[in-house]
Structure 1
Amino acid sequence: MCKILTLKTRLNSFIHINQLPSEILARILVAHAEDHYRSATGRWDKSVFTSPRWIKLAHVCRHWRDVALDTPRFWSFVYVRRPKTFHALLPLSKSAPLHIDLTLDPSIWSGAEAWKSATDLIGKQSHRLRELRFAATSNQVKMLAEKMGHSSMGWLEKLVLSHSNSKATDAGGSEPLQFLQPTTGRTPHLRHLEIRHLLVTWTDPVFCPTLTTLTVVAPKSSRNPATPIGTFEQFLDALRAMAPSLVDLKLEECMPRLLSTAEHSTSTRAIPLTSLQHLTISDTMGDCIRLLDHLCVNPTTTLNIFAIGVTETPRLVEILSAHVSRSTPLLALQIIFPQPTSSFVDITCHCNADLSLFRGRPAINLLLRTSPSDEAREQPLTAVLKASKTLFSRVQTLHLTAQNGLDVSWKRLFPRLYSVETLSISGDPGKGFFKALCNVRRVQKGQVWATFVPLRRLRKLDLDDVRFRNSLWGYERGAGEFFDQLRDWAILRCNYGVPLERLNIWECKYMDATDVTLLKQIIVEVEWDEWERGSTDEEDDDDDIFFDDDVYSY
């Protein structure tokens, strides 16, 4: 047997990769381990990574095994789920900087001794941690924080703490965790900090001036004003200390609540976030405004505001308008409308008019949702349009993603977008859309009458997934369907000297080549993907699926 192993070892030595120096092979092994770690920690569903697959490289041959055992960094990227594997890997990493991603799954870490020994081991090795991702219950995270709080973490660059079950009744706990003792300098290189669904006090030294990325997502229990997470002044002091270095800031319902509506912040100094590129705030509209009033951000900063409530919309729009006035004008606007039964609107603004660049970094992303306390029950989009004034006056590209049956105040939207040159529609815009576009007004200015055509500068129209008719079953042309209203509107624009120059039709339902021929008589350029729904076979198939007797037993 020994002779066979010796022979295999000699044969393996002739393989090209085994002729590489051990230092080069070690780098290859470390790169593979790091790639596996990054791909595992970057996934939302981590269940597919049930075992440390990178270790299989150490089992290729005895030479690779010897190189792996002599390379501590190969064992320093620890992503495991089972206690035995976790305890076996850490000693092999020796003194190399550690990258740990550990989730204490109750189905695997069932005994208290297992997870307590894991937190003890992490606490003892905290001095060589470079990255730590730890997900567990609030009590388990607090125990880890206590063990690490007295240690110096001079190598730590990234820290992610989260509750393993954010929907649990104990998510966050009743008392905030104290991650570091009240002494500074324990995390001199910490750059990235995420705390999700855990209570934390804003006086914790972990909110240090070296941070460039901060994400705090509070648990539901933090919405109680009596929760001891600190005062609003302490929250502002923490932001002020971190402000010079922050590049990405995300705050979700983590601001200290006011004990009464009459309480106001005594701080009048604005917090200058000179390096900030992304700001995300998710909270009630009142709290969003309260924070924005204390911040001074760069004109190029992307603002992501997710607010609940519409009563204070004018003040929020005023803040956004002031931000836009200091930067490049908004040239593209994307509005996503909800289902008719939902009361929210998603508005994304870009400083580039090219539709193909919509996936780039926007200037403003505003998502508004009504709350049960809103007395007026005003639609969020209507509230924004009332307060917008000239916020959207320079917009050249308008993209609408709509749902069928949507009731939108189109007459209030189009007059504020008089610079639009390209209109893109995805989905059915619903009733009132063409009525608003055909609402030509004549206004007297002195002795001269002026004619105002909605979207007068419009030159290009893109239609995607629009239903031209309700059905092809025995339809009659001129029956008031989308196609007929589109044709009448195109003729109206020609009559007023502002014709459409180009029409693009993509994957639209219930239309045929005859419709395209009629449109080409009115519009100069019509591009069609020739996707013609000539029958309803697909719908019949859908009916067979959803209304089968065997399924519903009618």
Structure 2
Amino acid sequence: MRAGTGQNYKTTVTFASPWSRIKKAFARRRTARPTLLIANDYNSNSSSTSTEFVSPISFDTPPVDRGHNEKLAINRLPPEILAEVFIVVCEACDLSDHSWVFCSQVCSGWREIALDIPHLWGHVVFATSEWTRRCIERSKSSLLIVEADVSFPFVRDRVCEVLKLANRVGRISIRCFFLDDQVTQLLGGPFPMLTTLCMESYSPLASPEIPLDPDIQPYPMLRNLQVRSNVAFLPHLPARLVSLEINNGDSEDVGWDTFAAAIQLLTELEILTLRGFAIPSTSASIRRISLPSLRELHLSASPAHCTQFIAALECPQILRYDLDLWVAAEAGSMFQTVLRNLRRPPPKSMFLHRLYGTVGTDYYMSPNYMDVGFFQHVVFGFTYNDVRDLGVATRDICFCWRTPLTDSDLAEIFVAISEIPLLDTVECFLLVDWNTSPQGSWPALLRRLVRLQTLVISGLPASGLLWDLVHELEGSAGDPPFLPDLTEIEVNCVDCSAGGWVTRRPHVNSYIDLDGARFLEVLICYLERRRAKLPKLKVSKCHNYSGAEIKLLRRLVKEVEWDGVGMTLPTYVPNGDEFGALTINHNVLSTRASYQELNLSDEERWRKQHRARSRTSQSNRLDRLYDVMT
């Protein structure tokens, strides 16, 4: 609040991407966005109007910049920094986004900087013939980047003009529906400076041919090859490849000998991706493939095929596995084979993520409103980093089932996970939306996690795990407890009103119908029964809990870290059990003296206010209906 004025001022700090910031700068620096006009330069004999766009702004004279202000922070940046910003924006744009060219059309200062960056204009724009020629001129002797969809004739002609400059082409990314003979012939090269080649066909019938003649060696510098179409396997691969991706390849099995002979030569290969590709069948007498530099392996197949393929590889430097699996059968042997081939110290963090349905953000798509076994998916694996910082780039060992799984498939995978020898070294365990495992399914896994220190529960609550911890403490007199080294529990993004899902029944409309307790109540039961206080509990981004429950948690845990978000007051609605966390009368905690912190008179006051509001709202609706009818 500003002193003496009585006005409130709120400061919002946002961290925008470089592209969003540069767009704001463009909006300030130019009076209006250049108007796009219709042109017809790709077919001079046609009288019809084409669909390509041309900017009316001259290439040689920058537009009038009435809003130029040298005091702006972005205008005080050194030219070297602005040049890097322009390059970042250019590389962030996809094939159809050419808005980065406005960096040369804002003002004379920006234009001078942009024209002094030949590398920037190596990213050729194929929107018009004039732009294509201008990019070639401005790039000078820099390498050219060809990224285009050649399904359209006017774009294909411009791409062919650039491909004829084979000595200057450094990267090619071609999308097409059908690849004609002219482009295929030009792709035969040779391209002495080409380092990246990506071919993608979105036609189920097209089979574009990639000319890889071993006698000519058209791509001597090629390091990255991506084939995303139903082409046949390429037997003559460039020997210096660092990354090879065959996605949606031909389903025909080329045979292990042909496959091994081609892959064996890639001694510098570091990343191998085979998805939608018929991995050749193996046997005990086959020749093994030695890939001394391989660090990442991405496969899409059944667990049995993945096991056979990995067993036939010799990869002393392998660090990361990413397996997209089709079925649940034989998952246990696959786990054993993959983890046995690790050449690093075992990872200390494990994650278990369950996806349910196709829309995870819709409240009514939650599991309690869906049939059992409807589109269940599992993501499981290990990471060398802290599991709480888990991201796509840190999933070092990942097993993913994206096909619909039944409850029996899910149970089979869970049993296989419990038998992994690597569990003895796990120190951090992340559970994401894993709320379907009932009581009795966790003990086999919990007995193995003898060194677990941090348990993270995110999303849907894993109350089944907590119930097994409670029952083990109640039933074991002298036996060592589960998770003896546990020092921290973190609960984030959890609906504390959700039930425990101890059993699974279809068409359940209430959390309370399942086990009679909310997730937070089960957590309190476990903390009360522990032989020693839990050292640390972290509650963040949760909702549907009361302040009294947080106070009780502070008594049961040595250190509670709470962000203060999501606490609610008692509220009453017609379907009360749908919002169970908003009331305090529950089976588990109702008899505990330490829990009697909520003023019951406040409860009655809230109840009366809700009833009064309901009657007032109903009366108002009747009055409006009466007015309409009369």
TM-score, scaled relative to structure 2: 0.65
Residues 151-550 of structure 1 correspond to what in structure 2 (within 5 A)?
151-163=189-201, 166=202, 168-170=203-205, 173=206, 175=207, 177-203=209-235, 205=236, 207-219=237-249, 222-223=250-251, 225=252, 230-242=254-266, 244-256=267-279, 264=283, 267-269=286-288, 271-298=289-316, 301-324=319-342, 326-339=343-356, 341-353=374-386, 355-356=388-389, 361-369=394-402, 377=409, 379=411, 381-388=413-420, 390-402=421-433, 409-430=441-462, 432-440=464-472, 450-470=478-498, 480-494=517-531, 498-531=532-565, 532-534=567-569
Preserved contact between residue 296 and residue 318 of structure 2 (Cα < 8 Å): no
Change (3 A) 1:470 1:344: closer
CA positional deviation for 1:89: 3.7
Deviation at 1:276, TM superposition (A): 2.4
1:60 corresponding residue in structure 2: 108
Cα distance in 2 for residues equivalent to 1:375 and 1:347 = 16
Cα distance in structure 2, aligned partners of 1:362 and 1:199: 30
Q: Which whole-Å CA distance do the structure 2 matches of 1:241 and 1:358 have between them? A: 33
Partner of 1:144: 183
Equivalent AA in structure 2 for residue 305 of structure 1: L
Following the alignment from structure 1 to structure 2, what is the Cα–Cα distance between the partners of residues 358 and 92?
A: 39
Match of 1:392, SS?
helix
Local SS of the residue matching 2:347: coil
Counterpart Cα distance in 2 of 1:208 and 1:285 = 30
Aligned to 1:11: none
Q: 1:432, 1:123 → 2: CA distance?
A: 61
Separation of aligned partners in 2, 1:238 and 1:435: 53
Aligned to 2:90: 37
In structure 2, the CA distance between the partners of 1:427 and 1:73, relative to structure 1 (3 Å rule), is: closer
> Per the alignment, do residues 394 and 96 of structure 1 end up closer, same or farther by CA in structure 2, a change over 3 Å counting?
closer
Tell me how far apart the structure 1 counterparts of residues 120 and 517 of structure 2 sit (CA, whole Å).
Answer: 69
CA-to-partner distance for each residue in 1:454-494, whole Å, 9 max, x for gaps? 222212111112233359xxx9xx96322322222112212
Shift in Å at residue 310 of structure 1?
A: 1.6
AA at the equivalent of 1:188: P
| Contact 2:319–2:396 under 8 Å retained in 1 | yes
CA distance in 1, matches of 2:569, 2:334: 49
Residues 178 and 200 in structure 1, CA contact (< 8 A), matched pair in contact too? no
1:132 aligns with 2:169: no
The answer to whether the Cα contact below 8 Å between 2:125 and 2:135 also exists between their aligned partners in 1 is no
How far the C-alpha of 1:146 sits from its partner, in A, is 2.4
**Conserved? CA contact 1:345–1:380, under 8 Å:** no
Q: What corresponds to 2:160 in structure 1?
A: 120
TM-score (norm: length of structure 1): 0.73
Question: What amino acid is the match of 2:295?
Answer: Q
| Structure 1 residues 168-211: Cα deviation after superposition (integer angstroms, max 9, x where no partner) | 443xx2x45132234253222111222223414321x3x21111
| Counterpart AA for 2:240 | T
Distance in 2 between residues matched to 1:32 and 1:529, nearest whole Å: 36
Separation in 2, partners of 1:136, 1:538: 56
Q: Secondary structure at the match of 2:334?
A: helix
Aligned amino acid, residue 433 of structure 2: A
Question: Shift of the alpha carbon at 1:451?
Answer: 0.7
CA distance in 2, matches of 1:438, 1:29: 60
Q: Is the 8 A contact 1:510 1:533 kept in 2?
A: yes
Question: Cα distance, 1:322 vs. partner?
Answer: 0.6
Paired residues of 1:97 and 1:130 also in contact (CA < 8 A): yes
Please state how far the C-alpha of 1:530 moved relative to its aligned partner. Answer: 2.3
Q: 8 Å contact 2:300–2:323 — kept in the other structure?
A: yes
C-alpha displacement at 1:116, in angstroms?
4.7
CA distance in 1, matches of 2:284, 2:519: 53
Cα distance change, pair 264–50 in 1 and its aligned pair in 2 (3 A): farther
1:135 partner amino acid = R
Tell me the residue number matched to 2:10: none
* Aligned partners of 1:248 and 1:279 also within 8 Å: yes
Aligned residues: 473
State the AA in 2 paired with 1:201.
Answer: F
Distance in structure 2 (CA, Å) of the matches to 1:454 and 1:434: 11
Q: Where do 5+ consecutive residues of structure 2 fail to align? A: 1-61, 63-68, 71-77, 357-366, 368-373, 500-511, 580-620, 622-630
Counterpart contact for 1:333–1:348, Cα < 8 Å:
yes
Distance in 2 (CA, whole Å) between partners of 1:515 and 1:189 is 64
For each residue in 1:374-411, what CA deviation from the matched residue of structure 2 results, as whole angstroms up to 9, or x when unmatched? Answer: 997454632532542x2211101111111556658333
CA contact (8 A) 1:438 1:453 kept: no
SS at match of 2:220: coil
Change over 3 Å in CA distance of 1:30–1:385 after alignment to 2 = closer
Which ranges in structure 1 are unaligned for 5 or more consecutive residues? 1-7, 9-14, 17-23, 544-548, 550-554
The match for 1:12 is none
Contact 2:375/2:404 (<8 A) preserved: no
CA distance in structure 1 between the aligned counterparts of 2:449 and 2:462, rounded to whole angstroms:
19
* Partner amino acid, structure 2, of 1:333: M
Deviation at 1:438, TM superposition (A): 2.2
The one-character-per-residue Cα deviations of 1:77-121 (angstroms, maximum 9, x if unpaired) are 3133345533554466565432222223x5xx3xx4x24523532
Contact 1:439 1:453 in 2 (8 A): no
Cα displacement (A) at 1:34 = 4.2
Secondary structure of the 2:215 match is coil
**RMSD of aligned alpha carbons:** 4.1
Say if 1:539 and 1:28 are closer, same or farther in 2 by CA, change over 3 A: farther
Distance in structure 2 (CA, Å) of the matches to 1:147 and 1:327: 45
Partner of 1:552: none
